[in-house]
Amino acid sequence: MASLRDIVTSASINLLSAFGFLMAFAILRIQPFNDRVYFPRWYKKGTRSSPTRSGAYASKFVNLDCRTYLNFLNWMPAALRMPEPELIDHAGLDSVAYIRIYLLGLKIFVPLAVLSFMVLVPVNWIGDTLERAKDLNFSDIDKLSISNVPDGSKGFWAHIVMSYVFSFWTFYVLYSEYKVLATMRADYLASETRRPDQFTVLVRNIPPDPDESVSEHVQHFFCVNHPDHYLTHQIVYNANKLASLVSKKRDLQNWYIYYQNKFERTSKRPLTKTGFMGLWGTQVDAIDHYTSQIQKLNEEEAVERERVKKDPDAIVPAAFVSFKSRWAAAVCAQTQLCRNPTLWLTEWAPEPRDVYWDNFAIPYFELTIRRLITAVALFFLIFFFMIPIAFVQSLANIEGIQKVFPFLKPLIRIESVKSVIQGFLPGIVLKIFLAVLPQILMTMSKIEGYPSISALDRKSAAKYHMFILVNIFLGSIITGSALQQLKTFIDLPPTEIPKTIGVYIPMKANFFITYIMVDGWAGVAAEILRLVPLVLFHLKNTFLVKTEQDRYEAMEPGSIDFPVGEPRIQLYILLGLVYAPITPFLLPFIIIFLAFAYVVFRNQCKSTFMSRYGSESDKFDYFLLLLERNVVVCLCKVINVYDPNYESAAAFWPDVHKRVVIGLFISQLLLLGLLSTKKIGRNHFALLPLPVLTIWFFMYCKGRFESGFIRFPLQEAMVKDTLERATEPQFNLKAYLKDAYMHPVFKSSDVEKSDFTFEEEKSPLVATTRVATKLSPDVNSSSPVQSDA
Amino acid sequence: MASLRDIVTSASINLLSAFGFLMAFAILRIQPFNDRVYFPRWYKKGTRSSPTRSGAYASKFVNLDCRTYLNFLNWMPAALRMPEPELIDHAGLDSVAYIRIYLLGLKIFVPLAVLSFMVLVPVNWIGDTLERAKDLNFSDIDKLSISNVPDGSKGFWAHIVMSYVFSFWTFYVLYSEYKVLATMRADYLASETRRPDQFTVLVRNIPPDPDESVSEHVQHFFCVNHPDHYLTHQIVYNANKLASLVSKKRDLQNWYIYYQNKFERTSKRPLTKTGFMGLWGTQVDAIDHYTSQIQKLNEEEAVERERVKKDPDAIVPAAFVSFKSRWAAAVCAQTQLCRNPTLWLTEWAPEPRDVYWDNFAIPYFELTIRRLITAVALFFLIFFFMIPIAFVQSLANIEGIQKVFPFLKPLIRIESVKSVIQGFLPGIVLKIFLAVLPQILMTMSKIEGYPSISALDRKSAAKYHMFILVNIFLGSIITGSALQQLKTFIDLPPTEIPKTIGVYIPMKANFFITYIMVDGWAGVAAEILRLVPLVLFHLKNTFLVKTEQDRYEAMEPGSIDFPVGEPRIQLYILLGLVYAPITPFLLPFIIIFLAFAYVVFRNQCKSTFMSRYGSESDKFDYFLLLLERNVVVCLCKVINVYDPNYESAAAFWPDVHKRVVIGLFISQLLLLGLLSTKKIGRNHFALLPLPVLTIWFFMYCKGRFESGFIRFPLQEAMVKDTLERATEPQFNLKAYLKDAYMHPVFKSSDVEKSDFTFEEEKSPLVATTRVATKLSPDVNSSSPVQSDA
């Protein structure tokens, strides 16, 4: 077992590395060399709101003012100072809600830690069980844990009472956070300007009609059943082949532009080879070659485009149906249309950019089969992952390594090496395993057939949470203990097993403390700079990028972090809840992680959006924009929140709430199990009401708040409709909605236009708080920094 | 343990008694003396459709035709011959759906029994484990059970494979029944004529408004949020005090009529005493006394009536809001109105007669607290009931009785007495306990705050099912075994416990066979005649009844049987599913019960409504009507289904389905546990996919069918609206709905009128298939027997 010294070594290493990253960030940040990257707008305007840079303009490249180095951490209070509504305006509600998960953790654990150290640590300390039981391995930290209280002691009443206090405090915090989030979401939705998804409902499982096309069928059905409200609809095409043609064409166009540029620069017609990547084959004139290729593809594409639009088989039995008012859309999304509840399924349409186009054609039966298969697959995934984890972790044990690789003995005997191995290895092993997983889980969610990217993210997060729960949490406790104590277990009578596990749950605290440091502390700090993507971008920029378009694509934000980040926080919260009554010593580590992450992410959230560009685009600015965009995007990834693909208005909060409640429930059951081994008669049954109360609390909150995250109240819809009718009576809604839900491939011909002319900013119809799919400086148009210019 | 002889004795006693009841029913039924009671209409019309009575008109009082006695059971095929749609027309969908539970059971168990006896019984029989293991008690029946297969035998594969076959067959039957019921319900709702609840939505948790009364607030709110559809609303008064005054007045009026009649008969002014029940106090003239008393109450009532109507505190924050079309009502019932999802809660309004008026004022938080308290109370109820049951059952064991009452030994030694005690006692003990329970559970459901009687019934049934599951099923297996084998258990190491229980589950088959016979067979037969309520009615009629009104009330149907009957059937289905792979010998007993009950109930359902009176009301006919009504009502109670208080259109079927699935799930887990003790390596894990499939099946059916039982599809509503607008464009809906949802106490002044003038029949507005709260022959107006007259 790791001793207190191992923990201290590990903690200092981790703190140092975190500090190093922060230093690097802070120093880079105040260098004039990088100033343009981090604060470009302020520069131009000459505002001096950032005190760190007030005297730093002396030198062009290096900041020589020592004062700024001394208070290089003062971005932290600044990060905390920005009011939340403004933050929502800038970063969207999703980001703010995500940050509030950390805040939730802090609100739970700071009082818990204070109470634990005031009440439970003294109670644990005065026990002396571990010193007397010489046959068990234990460390110094365990003396502060419940293991140190002698069996049958009256001291366990302290743990029981504190468990009640902890639970009720957690209830209180969870409830008030849920309430705040529900209000935030309602306010956010109420304050939004007109958006296509407010008027639109996604209809799936449209039954085939022998006499009518899907489009006619939809139109007739809604004209009959929503006669006063139906406005228009958009059918969904199965455009996979077309999409691949379009993407191929874009690739060729890119090459064409590249050679065109080259030709303009060198005035010499470039050559290329017809084979793969232009590496072999016959040599031809590049510009001519690509011109003809593009021409050919253009023809193919036109044919395919016609086919898709005309072929009835290319039409998926789903449609986006739009209504004349938000009220009617809200009504249609919430009601059952057809007698057969698996046909004409309606649901709130996702935002156009949030639509996941591949999942519309799945009939109901196939959907449930897919979910069954995914559930079974998930089970096996979780189950078989345990074997390698257990194996590698048993190796990561010093004694285990010595046994398996006896030749390493002399190296391991060096105390510092031993500490490093003890401290880092188990955590890193887990991290490597986890890195493989999110993509698999996302694929499984896609198979399950959810129609929007936000839903896919939420479902992936749920799967990942389950994985973490079983493999990291339970797997580390049970498998680890089992491998260490397997021989002991086999020799003991079965009644002794729960007792043995009971003793080993608190002793696993060391492992989890290390894990929090490796995964949490260093992880957050390392992600501030996102060195890897930055380096990758610069490499790409130098070697691969051929055109502006390429450069733009090189700095794409890539995948989303919510499905990975959120379950990870949940693991820390679970650990905190489980160990709060057992080993309070673990709590400060969690609090440091949460506080650190909260401040950092809040700062990123703020500075990311504060430093956004406007829509000016002279050459140099545009390059700067790209560069800054790169940093911004990287920082966005740090935030783990800011997902440029959609704004779900904190739709994930019910999941967050549920998982914290699950953590609380598990912690209560584990404490109950642990105390039942402590020979305190039947006193541990005093804990039984807690899980019941927890379930009730969950049900209550679900009924009280959840529908606010799923449904759209008619009252709100009516208010917005009325307001709109009064202010813009002549507005042509049909024209506005006409192409809102068109498959992106049909819009592909004007990709460049939509990307670079910032169409959305020019259009007053679109919410200014929205962040468009790609390069979209429209966010800034409502930013206070801009508006006072 | 009961031997095969005990079972045979018990079976013959039970069969004989059942046969006796059937005989009595059949003989009474064909006596001309009772003819007027059972077939009054046919008599009058002179139709001779019933062959049993074709030659029975010779004698006035006794049937002398031997032929009719010989084929006295031919009502059975007749009962099965009536087509289902006609039965729905007569008895309502609830009754038909209830009967289909028996049919469901039969469809599951007949093939299961055939397969079991073909495959599993031979496999079990060739084993010889029990003969070799001398230390365990066992009976002859156990030789046919799984206990007789030696450990580690390949024969267990037969059980595993058959368990799959059984499960898939059960899935198939459940699925097709659910489908049939969903279609039936949809057709039934579609075929219904205009009813107030189609246009009305129940709104609860209306927030208080400082400036407006509840009524104004409701009106304004719906005028704003459903501007095109809102029609009218009806607020709900807290009229508990008024209701008690009205009931008191009715009582006094009854006495008044009694003395008035007496005075008319004897021409002598009757006297009474002013004290309790007229038994003591000063003597006064009865008619004058009651006249003044009634006068006084009338005044009090008028004051209270005014107060309730004017006092804002007497108004409950709930209302029945009616719309101009079914479409709008369906929309409002299915959508969320307010941003706060615990305010302005809307749900489909129950039928006016189905409303439970006391539960409208409960705010959301209190509601969840009430549900928590009820859940905890239910837990304790279930938990503490186990102690007396276990105690009495341990006495009911012959050896137990001998030990506790040694003086009874000589009596018990007589073999026949012993058999009777063995066979009857445990079942009867359970029956007595169960008789106490339903009222408690109904009270608990009322505390939970459901707004309709049908919902209360369904929730009570759910509670009762849980009770039966834990106390009768698990309690009988585990407690019984535990008490018998307690000493053995304590001496064994804990790993042996599951094995011991595994051996005792199949051995409990004897007990359950007895239970099925006592509770099932004899129960159904005894209920055909409902001797107890019949005798009670005649006693009341002779000694207590003072006026026509009293006589009418004496034959009130009383409480409803669904919450008791349905969970009981579920117990038999559970037993069948659990024992099908373990002790197939139990299946025939269940099949006999189900088939018997199915035929009998179907017949009652048919004949009850076939023999209904028209609305003629000459004096003698009216008396006959009352008499017949009594029999009819009693028979109605036999049916356990026909509940004159409401017609929920089989809304309980999802519960039925769920409970059968729960039974299947339990049976699979128990078989898995049992096989895990049989030393067949890890082969029992071959059963693991079954519970997973069962859960998937449940989810699939829930998604596929359940919303058909909760929501009302807009398409159907629109069809009905359109049809109605075309056929009756001038219909005054507002007038029709005006008083539909008035608290019954405000209608009390015309109770007699509505009861005896058959108001509903005269009104074309009300569905003819509906059965009114009280004496309501309007059912017959659509009966084919009537219509061909």
Q: Express each pLDDT in A152-185 by its tens digit.
A: 777 788 888 888 999 999 999 999 999 888 888 8
For residues B170-195, average pLDDT:
86
Query: What's the pLDDT band for B706 if we cut at 50, 70, 90?
Result: confident
- Indicate if the pLDDT at residue A40 is higher than 80: no
Which residue of chain B is at minimal alpha-carbon distance from A190?
B339
> Which tens digit of pLDDT belongs to each residue from B746-756?
764 443 333 33
Measuring CA to CA, how many Å separate A598 from each of A97, A103, A638, B524?
Answer: 12, 7, 12, 68
How confident is the model at residue B635, as a pLDDT?
A: 38
| Interchain proximity B368–A718, CB inside 8 Å | no
Question: Of the candidates B364, B494, B696, which has its C-beta nearest A495's C-beta?
Answer: B494
Query: What's the pLDDT band for B322 if we cut at 50, 70, 90?
Result: confident
Residues of chain A contacting residue B721, judged by C-beta atoms under 8 Å apart:
none
* Chain A interface includes B223 (CB < 8 A): no
| Interchain proximity B712–A337, CB inside 8 Å | no
Interface of B with A in 712-731 (CB under 8 A): 712-716, 718
Rounded CA gap, B729 and A373, in Å? Answer: 53
* Chain B interface includes A493 (CB < 8 A): yes
- Whether the Cβ atoms of residue B507 and residue B559 lie closer than 8 Å to each other: no
> How many beta-carbon contacts under 8 Å exist across A and B?
122
Query: What's the pLDDT band for A91 if we cut at 50, 70, 90?
Result: low
How confident is the model at residue A516, as a pLDDT?
A: 81
* Chain B interface includes A491 (CB < 8 A): no
Closest Cα to residue A541, out of A531, A533, A551, A532?
A: A551
Which residue of chain B is at minimal alpha-carbon distance from A705?
B341
Which residue of chain A is at minimal alpha-carbon distance from B694?
A372
For residues B594-621, average pLDDT:
52
- Indicate if the pLDDT at residue B694 is higher than 80: yes
* Complex-level ipTM beyond the 0.85 threshold: no
Query: What's the pLDDT band for A250 if we cut at 50, 70, 90?
Result: confident
| Interchain proximity B342–A704, CB inside 8 Å | yes
* Chain A interface includes B492 (CB < 8 A): no
- Indicate if the pLDDT at residue B365 is higher than 80: yes
For residues A633-653, average pLDDT:
55
* Range with lowest mean pLDDT among B27-41, B257-271, B304-318, B592-606: B27-41
Comparison of pLDDT for B608 and B72, the residue scoring more? B72
* Range with lowest mean pLDDT among B104-118, B300-314, B611-625: B611-625
Shortest alpha-carbon distance between residue A182 and chain B (Å): 9
How confident is the model at residue B256, as a pLDDT?
A: 78
CA angle B749, B755, B761 (to 5 degrees): 120
Query: What's the pLDDT band for B611 if we cut at 50, 70, 90?
Result: very low
- Indicate if the pLDDT at residue A763 is higher than 70: no
Question: Of the candidates A225, A344, A375, which has its C-beta nearest B718's C-beta?
Answer: A225
Q: Which residues neighbour A51 within 8 Å (Cβ) at sequence distance 6 or greater?
A: A74
Residue B344, phi-psi category: left (phi > 0), alpha (psi -120 to 50), beta (remainder): left
Which residue of chain B is at minimal alpha-carbon distance from A330?
B335
Which residue of chain B is at minimal alpha-carbon distance from A496?
B494
Residues of chain B contacting residue A340, judged by C-beta atoms under 8 Å apart:
708
Question: Of the candidates B699, B705, B706, which has its C-beta nearest A368's C-beta?
Answer: B699
Residues of chain A contacting residue B694, judged by C-beta atoms under 8 Å apart:
none
Question: Of the candidates B186, B336, B700, which has its C-beta nearest A339's C-beta?
Answer: B186
Portion of chain B with pLDDT greater than 70, in percent: 61
How confident is the model at residue A90, as a pLDDT?
A: 64
B233 CB neighbour count, 10 Å cutoff: 21
How confident is the model at residue A752, as a pLDDT?
A: 38
Q: What is the pTM of this model?
A: 0.74
Token pair in block for residue A255: 């090459």
Comparison of pLDDT for B762 and B698, the residue scoring more? B698
Residues of chain B contacting residue A341, judged by C-beta atoms under 8 Å apart:
703-708, 711, 713
Measuring CA to CA, how many Å separate A225 from each of A197, A220, B321, B348, B737?
Answer: 20, 9, 22, 19, 24
- Indicate if the pLDDT at residue B639 is higher than 60: no
How confident is the model at residue A605, as a pLDDT?
A: 52
Which DSSP state fits A208?
A: P
Comparison of pLDDT for B776 and A458, the residue scoring more? A458
| Interchain proximity A331–B335, CB inside 8 Å | yes
For residues A208-227, average pLDDT:
82
> Which tens digit of pLDDT belongs to each residue from A705-742?
888 888 777 777 787 778 887 887 777 777 777 777 77
Question: Of the candidates A339, A368, A692, which has its C-beta nearest B696's C-beta?
Answer: A368
Residues of chain B contacting residue A706, judged by C-beta atoms under 8 Å apart:
341
Interface of A with B in 149-188 (CB under 8 A): 186
CA angle A396, A402, A404 (to 5 degrees): 80
> Which tens digit of pLDDT belongs to each residue from A298-310?
888 888 878 877 7
How confident is the model at residue A194, as a pLDDT?
A: 77
**Helices (runs of H) and strands (runs of E) counted in chain B:** 36, 6
Residue A193, phi-psi category: left (phi > 0), alpha (psi -120 to 50), beta (remainder): beta
Question: Of the candidates A335, A365, A696, which has its C-beta nearest B714's C-beta?
Answer: A335
Rounded CA gap, B323 and B581, in Å? Answer: 55
Q: Which of A693, A715, A721, A723 to mutate to test the interface with B (most CBs of B within 10 A)?
A: A715
* Range with lowest mean pLDDT among B72-76, B92-96, B268-272, B613-617: B613-617
Type of residue found at B142: D
Comparison of pLDDT for B789 and A387, the residue scoring more? A387
Closest Cα to residue A743, out of A231, A287, A387, A243?
A: A243
Show the beta-strand stretches assigned E in A432-559.
none
Question: Of the candidates A692, A711, A718, which has its C-beta nearest B376's C-beta?
Answer: A692
Measuring CA to CA, how many Å separate A388 from each of A383, A471, A484, A513, B152?
Answer: 10, 11, 16, 22, 33
For residues B339-343, average pLDDT:
78
Comparison of pLDDT for B491 and B12, the residue scoring more? B12
Which DSSP state fits A207?
A: P
Residues of chain A contacting residue B696, judged by C-beta atoms under 8 Å apart:
368, 371-372, 375
> Which tens digit of pLDDT belongs to each residue from B127-157?
666 555 555 555 566 677 777 777 777 778 8
Type of residue found at A403: K
Question: Of the candidates B228, B338, B715, which has its C-beta nearest A713's C-beta?
Answer: B338
Query: What's the pLDDT band for A74 if we cut at 50, 70, 90?
Result: low
Residue B649, phi-psi category: left (phi > 0), alpha (psi -120 to 50), beta (remainder): left
Query: What's the pLDDT band for B386 if we cut at 50, 70, 90?
Result: low
How confident is the model at residue A38, as a pLDDT?
A: 42
Closest Cα to residue A385, out of A474, A483, A515?
A: A474
* Range with lowest mean pLDDT among A23-32, A357-366, A719-728, B663-672: A23-32
For residue A139, the surrounding DSSP H or E stretch is none
- Indicate if the pLDDT at residue B562 is higher than 60: yes
- Whether the Cβ atoms of residue A4 and residue A140 lie closer than 8 Å to each other: yes
Average pLDDT, chain B: 70
Question: Of the candidates A494, A700, A708, which has its C-beta nearest B495's C-beta?
Answer: A494
How confident is the model at residue A132, as a pLDDT?
A: 59
Query: What's the pLDDT band for A661 if we cut at 50, 70, 90?
Result: very high
For residues B490-515, average pLDDT:
63
Query: What's the pLDDT band for B81 if we cut at 50, 70, 90?
Result: low
**Helices (runs of H) and strands (runs of E) counted in chain A:** 35, 6
How confident is the model at residue B752, as a pLDDT?
A: 38
* Chain B interface includes A338 (CB < 8 A): yes
Query: What's the pLDDT band for B727 if we cut at 50, 70, 90?
Result: confident
Comparison of pLDDT for B453 and A639, the residue scoring more? B453
> Which tens digit of pLDDT belongs to each residue from B285-304?
777 877 888 888 888 888 88
Which DSSP state fits A59?
A: S
How confident is the model at residue A35, as a pLDDT?
A: 43
